[in-house]
Structures are given as C-alpha cells and as structure tokens.
Structure 1
Amino acid sequence: MRRGIAASALVAALAATLAACGSSGSGTSSASGPVTITYWDTSNATNEMPNYQAVVQKFEAANPNIKVNFVNVPFDQAQDKLQTAMGSKGAPDVFRSDVGWTAAFAKAGFLTPLDGTPALSDPSAYQPSLIKQAQYQGKTYGVPLVTDTLGLLYNKALFTQAGITTPPTTWDELKADAATIKTKTGVDGFEMRAGDGYYAMPLFYGEGTDMVDAANKKITVNSPDAVKAITTYQSLFNSPGTVKADITTDSYAHMMDAFNGGKVAAIINGPWEITNIYKGSSFTDHTNLGIAPVPAGSTGKAGAPTGGHNICVYAGSDAAHQAAAEKFAAFMTSADSESFIAQKNSTLPTRPDAFTADVKSDPGIAGFQQILSVAQPRPALPEYSSLYTSLSTNLGKIATGQQGIQPGLDATAQDYAKLLPDFAK
C-alpha cells in the first residue's frame, strides 16, 4: 500500500474555505430510487483493493437502497486529489483517509464529525489510541479501519545460517548482525528505506525526540537528540553488510524485491507488505518471516509511528448522502468486515473483537500484534503529515553524502518555521 509518504500541498487547505459545502456530493439519488454514494479507496490496487470491493458488495447486498460508486485512487496521489476535490467540487461522499491526513482535513472544514452518528455508535469498540488519532479539537472525524506500525522484518533462515538466534534490539546490534550475515552468507544483512522521513521516525523516537514538540510548540528536528538520531540513520547506509542508500524512483520496489527474493536479510517495514512478502520465493513458508520491534536508540526504548487508515465522511454532501455514508462507514469498520479484511490483506484490525482465532493464525498479523506496544501515536497537529516533505528531501541528501547532518536538519527546521510560524526554533 505504501509507504513513501507523498509530498503534499495539504497544508494549503488549512486556510481554505469549504467551497463545495452544501452541494449534493458526488453521488446521486431520487425520491423513488436508491442513494448512490461515491467511495474513494486508497488501498493497493493489486493485492488489497479486490478485498475492499468484496466488502462493498456485501454492504450493497445488505443495504439495497444504497449503491456505492467504488473508485480506487493510488495512495501517493490521494492526499492531493482529496484536497483538490473537497476544496472545489467532485469530492467523494466517503473515503479511506490515512490517519496523518484526518486532522488537517478536519481543520479545513472538509469532514463531518461522527460522534453520536451511526458511523460511530460505540467508540469503545475501538482501541482508544486510534480513536484519539481520529480526533481534532475534541471531535471525532474518522472511524478507525486498519492500523499499522513499523517493525523489523527479517528472514529467519538467513539469520540462522549466520548463527544469529535472536533479532537485534538496538541499532548497534543490527549493524553487527548485518556484518555477520554478509560474511557468513554472502547476502546483504540490512537495507533501510532512504530519503523517506516516515521510515526515519524510529531513529527519532529512539533518542526521545520527534520532528516537533507539538505540546510546547517547538521545532526539534535539528536538536542535539535529532542529530544523534540521524547520525545513526546515516550509519545504516555505510556500515559493513548494509545496502548503500537508494533514492531512485523505484527504490521501494528494489528493497522489497531484494527482501522477498532472499538477497537482503532484514528491512524496516509495515504489515501492508505481508501479502506481497508471502508471494516471495523466500517466504513460501510464511513462518520464515520474522517480525520484531524496531531497534532501540540510546534511550533504551524502541518506538515506531502508529499508522493506518480511517473512514471519513465529507461535510459537503447533502443529508441523504451523509446518512448513507455514515451507514457505510459503520459497515466497513464492523468486526466482521475488519476480520475479513485482516484475513485477506494481512492487515491489523482496529478493534479487539476483530482479532479472531482465524485472524491471529496468520503469523504476520500475530507478529505485528505483538509489537503494537511500541507504536507511538502522532500528535493531533494538522500540519504534522506535511512535515515529512522537507525531512524526506534532506534525508535523501544526508544518506547519499550530498549534505551534512546538521546543515540538512537546519534546512528542514527553516522549512518548518514557515509551515509553523508560531513554533519556536
């Protein structure tokens, strides 16, 4: 599904007015016929989308007076396309929103609050931290659909061949293991996603910091702790047994092809890739996939970002379409639907009652469920998702040696000052 976080102009929405508000939305209806709502799906078209389509078909069968116009929008384009559509016309009545987009869309006035509606009749059914992540200024603007985090994915057979019996728990241990694997197997030990700020977050969290301190309105991306984090990050591309930084357009595919084919022993990634990994020659035996928490930094604590998606309802649709969209949101996020999606896509449900025995029998899901304890929710800062753009650009330069660590993070901090003028440097 992911996950180069897309560079986005979403922050422009924060000052926008809801030009399309009061329109009839993108669906159609008549006094005698069914309501047709438009749903924008942002899942991977090859391995995830068909299963979301199956859930939509179940919804239509159970609700004959509601038809769904299913539109798949590539994830890396969806943020900007939603921004444009909701700011003018042609917006979907309901859509699948990355958790990092929800607060910004809510601040812009694009979303309808779902508290007390059929979409969210029982908030306690969902993990509390995920409900909090769907909120802005005390109101809930999304229903949690799937959750995820980053973990250390590793090839158990290659680790065993190298004589390594347990996964590394620190970045230093990871580098040592990578060197051992290269020496004893001839295979690269580790590959890190380069030039993508999202994948660098475990390094920040491991030093007890973040890109910004939202609570105290302070930019921290170039602080001493951040420099320490990115010093470790840079070393992951230059140590024996680790793969050199790849910032080409196809770098993500290169990393996944290498891992799935047994040409690299470990990567950092999330559950959205599990079904694709299972298709790889190294993981026809699914139990060969090892899943562990991301390594810890000098604080001794591991941390990874909490990701996932919410189902959100457009505020510009008329009452009939909003009501149908809310009913659809409830169906998509029901225990039965989330359990079905989890079994088909190997993604993590957002509600405990969807973790059925069949769901937990998938070793990938079971593995990621065990490491959710190190997942760290993002602050409810509308601009937070946009912070990755500058960070990713400068991390790419740092990883490839085109820029020094402090100058690169200082440049990022300067960009943040423009985005967050009321934050102290």
Structure 2
Amino acid sequence: MKKSLRFGSAIAIAATASLTLASCGFGGGSGDEADGKTTIDMLVPSYSDNTQGLWEDVIAGFEEENPDIAVNLEVQSWDNLESVITTKIQGGEAPDIYNGGPFAGFAADELLYTAEEVVSPEVLSDFQDSFIANTEVDGTAYALPLIASARALFVNNALLEQAGVAAPPTTWDELLDAATKVSALGGGIAGYGMPLGSEEAQAEAAVWLWGGGGSFGDAEEITVDDPANLPGAEQIKKMIDAGATQADPGSTDRSPLMDIFVQGQIGMQVGLPPTVGQIEEGNPELDYSIVPIPTQDGSPFTLGVMDQLMAFQNDGDKQDAITKFFDYYYAADVYVPWVQAEGFLPVTKSGAEQLAGEEALAPFLELLPDAKFYPSTNPKWSATDGAFKALFGQLQSKGAQEVLTEIQAQVDAG
C-alpha cells in the first residue's frame, strides 16, 4: 500500500467499510422461551461486510458459556435501520438489544433500561468517562458506548500532484482551489467527494457547518437554523457550483462514493478508520494521505461519532440475560478483537490499555481531543438526524438558509 500519513505513523486496519444488508429477522421481544431457553432479540446495523459474522462469533461464544440463553440476531443496513426500529416499536416488537445512534427519544418515552440496570458495576466503571457521559440524560445513562470514531480527510496524492496541488488543503479556500483543479483533470475524476444523500447527510453537514463555527445545538436545544451554520452551508454550495465535487451530490451516499475514492477517481473525501481497511482490500496500491479535515480558518476539528448499545424494557424476565450478554461482550478479550476487526476505536479503559501503542489507530486517536459530537442526548436528536437525511441533499438546488430553516422546522414539528 502506498500512503503517507501526515500524523507521522503507519496504518493497517484489516476491515472493510462497504455497507451491506444481511438479515435474519425476529418477531420481537415477546418473552417466550423455546426449549427452556431465554431468547434475546438483537437488532444491529452493518458496519462492514464482516459485521454479521463478527456478531455471530460473539453470540456463539456467549451461548456456549450460557446454554440457557439464545440470541436471535438481525442485521440491517444503516439506510434501513431507523425505519426498521420505528416499525418494530410501533408494532410492539422492539428488540431486546439495539445498536444504533439516537437514543434520547427512547429514554424520554421510558422504553429503555438504564445502563446500571443491564451491566455489572465493574463493566460500567470500565467505560471512558467522556463516552459514558455522552449517553446520559439528566445525569442518568440510558445506553452503553459501543464504538468511537473520528473523521479525517483522505487524499489521493497522485491526483493532487497531477493537478499541480503542492500540499493537502487546510482551509476551505485551499480545499476549493485544490478540488477544482483535480476535477479539471477530466475523465470522470472528481476533486472532492461530497455525500449529501440520505445515508449519512448529517455527518457531511456537520463537517462543514461545524467547520465554520456552527453547531447542531446541545442537550437542551437544537439550533440548526443558527446563523453560525450559514457559512458552512454556503461553502458547500460554492464547492458544488464550482464543479469541485462529483455530479449530483444531493443523491450520493457515502459508502458507494468512498468505493469510487478507493478506485482512484476522487481527489479527496472525508473517511473513517475502516476506510483504511477498505483501501487495503480494494486498492492496496493507492497512493494516499490522511490529514485533518479543512475548516474555514484552518483550526483543528474533527467529527467524533459514538454509537451505542441499548436495552428495551420488553420483558422483565430478560433483564438478567441481557446483563450477562453485555458483561460477556465488554470483556476485553471479546470486545477488543471485535472493535479491531471493524476498524473503530474502543470506548472502554481496558480496551484502550490493550491497544496502547497500536500505530493503526494513531491518526484518528490524535484527532479525538478536537472532536465535536452530535447532541445525541437531546430528545429531538433523532428527529434532527432524520431531517438532515431527508432534506440536506436539497442544498445543491435550494438556498442555504432555506434548507437550514426547513430542517429546523421539521425538527420542531417532531
């Protein structure tokens, strides 16, 4: 693999990042026991082509140690996940364990166990303090941190060199200039990969809005239409209007766009730790760098993301079984290999200690001190996330303020 890391370390993560849909459905948390076993229904998203197999391995080990408990796994794509969980809850078939992002709305509706009700004190105390704090609503944790990640800019060194760009950009002006020059190379090459489609529009929005000094709000208030968000939205339109991005960014999702970057047809795109594994698998000869995301003034910033595990209060008889599963999963010898295989960062103290000195994680770990996180403890975060996915892609054809106002209105309407 040809690459240079502007953080001064080498990287090799054996994980892929193309999302897949693989499912084996379940009928919900009914509390029924088959063959004398307690059955836990578990709904998770696909982080990579490996996700289903990784969870199946965890489940096999758990069931071997707990023969009186069975875990019924369902894996969905991120595109489908929110509609699936909504449908299940509305139908009275919520999973017992759910791996997702937004959770505060479920807590507000009193659907979830608290964290201390479904893990032992030893496991609860093992979570990094900042991560468990990000699962709290009014001082009570209602979810368990699962994985953490940071975003960085992946740069195709060869394309920038061909376009006469001497160094990766650090500011928006430099990014616009570099991306425009790369796009001018022609042959279907895009300077900057801008995924405004529904898969993860909220993440691309955060990269730009927050990179210009804006915010989505906090635990008390969602402020998408804050004037501080306007510079980032307007910069996106500048990029699109200048031809610095791929065609039709409003309907382009991150995963297929990153596949195009891996094949060497995009100059720059924001990626995740698993992107390294995707490159290793799909195009190991790609000459690339990983650098901080450019911002309006060049100040350091990254989008930090943390997904959670949570447990629905479907059947009180399952609480003990859920606790046993969580305690098993978060043991370092089970949890750390799972996190490494998916290419993310651990959220436990024991996991961090075990991975201390791992060069593979260094670039992203170095960015975490400057990370900003979604206001996921706000009960309206789920609606905010959905509004960005539904409306932010319209930015390529509508005014920046108009789109931000529409998103805020949808959030306020619930």
TM-score when normalising by structure 1: 0.80
Contact 2:210 2:229 in 1 (8 A): no
CA-based RMSD of the aligned residues comes to 3.0
Match of 1:367 in 2: 363
Aligned to 1:409: 404
SS of 2:413's partner is helix
For 1:138 and 1:40, locate their aligned partners in 2 and report how far apart those are by CA, in whole Å: 26
| Whole-Å separation in 1 of the counterparts to 2:96 and 2:408 | 37
Q: Is 2:168 the partner of 1:167? A: yes
1:204 to 1:55, Cα distance in 2 relative to 1, 3 A: same
Q: Match of 1:191?
A: 193
Contact kept? 2:143, 2:309, Cα under 8 Å: yes
| Structure 1 residue 206: Cα displacement | 2.0
Is 1:329 the counterpart of 2:329? The answer is no
Residue 11 of structure 2 corresponds to which residue in structure 1? none
Aligned to 1:353: 350
Q: Cα 1:397–1:111, aligned 2, differ >3 Å: closer, same or farther? A: same
Provide the rounded CA distance (Å) in 1 between the counterparts of 2:212 and 2:168: 20
Q: Which amino acid aligns with 2:404?
A: L
- Structure 1: gaps spanning 5 or more residues: 4-23, 420-425
1:15-26 correspondence to structure 2 within 5 Å:
25-26=29-30
Structure 2 equivalent of residue 14 of structure 1? none
The residue aligned with 1:389 is: 386
Write the letter of the residue equivalent to 2:106. Answer: F
Deviation at 1:179, TM superposition (A): 3.4
CA distance in 1, matches of 2:218, 2:147: 26
> 2:18, 2:48 within 8 Å by CA — same for their partners in 1?
no
User: SS in structure 2 opposite 1:51?
Assistant: helix
Q: Percent identity between the aligned chains?
A: 24
Q: Where in structure 2 are the equivalents of 1:123-142 lying within 5 Å? A: 123-142=124-143
Q: Who is 1:12 aligned against? A: none
Distance in 2, matches of 1:342 and 1:331, equals 14
Of 50, 66, 71, which residue of structure 2 is paired with 1:68? Answer: 71
- Give distance in 2, aligned partners of 1:191 and 1:359: 32
Alpha-carbon distance change, 396 to 184 in structure 1, aligned in 2, over 3 angstroms:
closer
Question: In 1, are the aligned partners of 2:301 and 2:367 still within 8 Å (CA)?
Answer: no
- Contact 2:118-2:319 within 8 A present in 1 as well: no
Match in the other structure for 2:61: 58
Cα distance change of structure 1 residues 179 and 75 upon mapping to structure 2, 3 Å threshold? closer
CA distance in 2, matches of 1:247, 1:121: 46
The AA in structure 2 aligned to 1:93 is D
| Cα separation, 1, equivalents of 2:85 and 2:392 | 27
* 1:87 positional shift: 4.3
Question: 1:28 and 1:311 mapped to 2: Cα distance?
Answer: 22
Deviations 1:341-379 (A, max 9, x none): 13322122112432467786563x333222222221222
Instruction: Give the direction of change, closer, same or farther, for the CA distance of 1:398–1:309 in structure 2 (3 Å limit).
Output: closer
- 1-side partners of 2:204 and 2:122: how far apart? 35
Which amino acid in 2 is paired with 1:377? Answer: F
Give, in whole Å, the separation in 2 of the partners of 1:393 and 1:117: 34
Decide whether the 8 Å contact of 1:38 with 1:68 is kept in 2.
Answer: yes
Paired positions, count: 385
The match for 1:38 is 41
The CA deviation at 1:324 is: 0.8
User: Secondary structure in 1 aligned to 2:191?
Assistant: coil
Contact 1:115–1:121, Cα closer than 8 Å, also in 2? no
Q: 1 CA distance for matches of 2:357 and 2:171? A: 27
1:342 equivalent in structure 2: 339
Task: Tell which deviates more after alignment, 303-312 or 374-383.
Answer: 303-312
**Residue 302 (structure 1) shift:** 4.0
Deviations 1:267-320 (A, max 9, x none): 113234443333222xx158x44322221224x53434332321211112223x
1:325 CA drift (Å): 0.7
Specify whether residues 166 and 82 from structure 1 end up closer, same or farther in structure 2 by C-alpha distance, changes over 3 A only: same
Cα distance in 2 for partners of 1:179, 1:88 equals 49
Measure how far apart 1:261 and its partner are: 0.5
Contact 1:45/1:72 (CA < 8 Å) preserved in 2? no
* SS class of match (1:344): helix
Work out the CA distance in 2 between the residues paired with 1:185 and 1:367.
31
Selected match of 1:301 from 292, 299, 308: 299
Deviation at 1:72, TM superposition (A): 1.5
Secondary structure of 2:336's aligned partner: helix
Query: Residues 55 and 289 (structure 1 numbering): CA distance in 2 closer, same or farther, change over 3 Å?
Result: farther
Q: Find 2:100's aligned residue among 82, 97, 102.
A: 97
Q: Secondary structure at the match of 1:189?
A: strand
Kept in 2, the 8 Å contact 1:26–1:92? The answer is no
Q: Which runs of 5+ in 2 are unaligned?
A: 1-16, 20-27
* Alignment partner of 1:238 is 2:241: yes
Inter-CA distance 27–337: structure 2 relative to 1 (3 Å threshold): farther
Secondary structure (helix, strand or coil) at the match of 1:36 reads strand
Distance 2:98 2:120 in 1: 13
CA distance in 2, matches of 1:329, 1:171: 43
Q: Matched residues in 2 for 1:107 and 1:2: separation?
A: 33
Residue aligned with 2:122, SS: coil
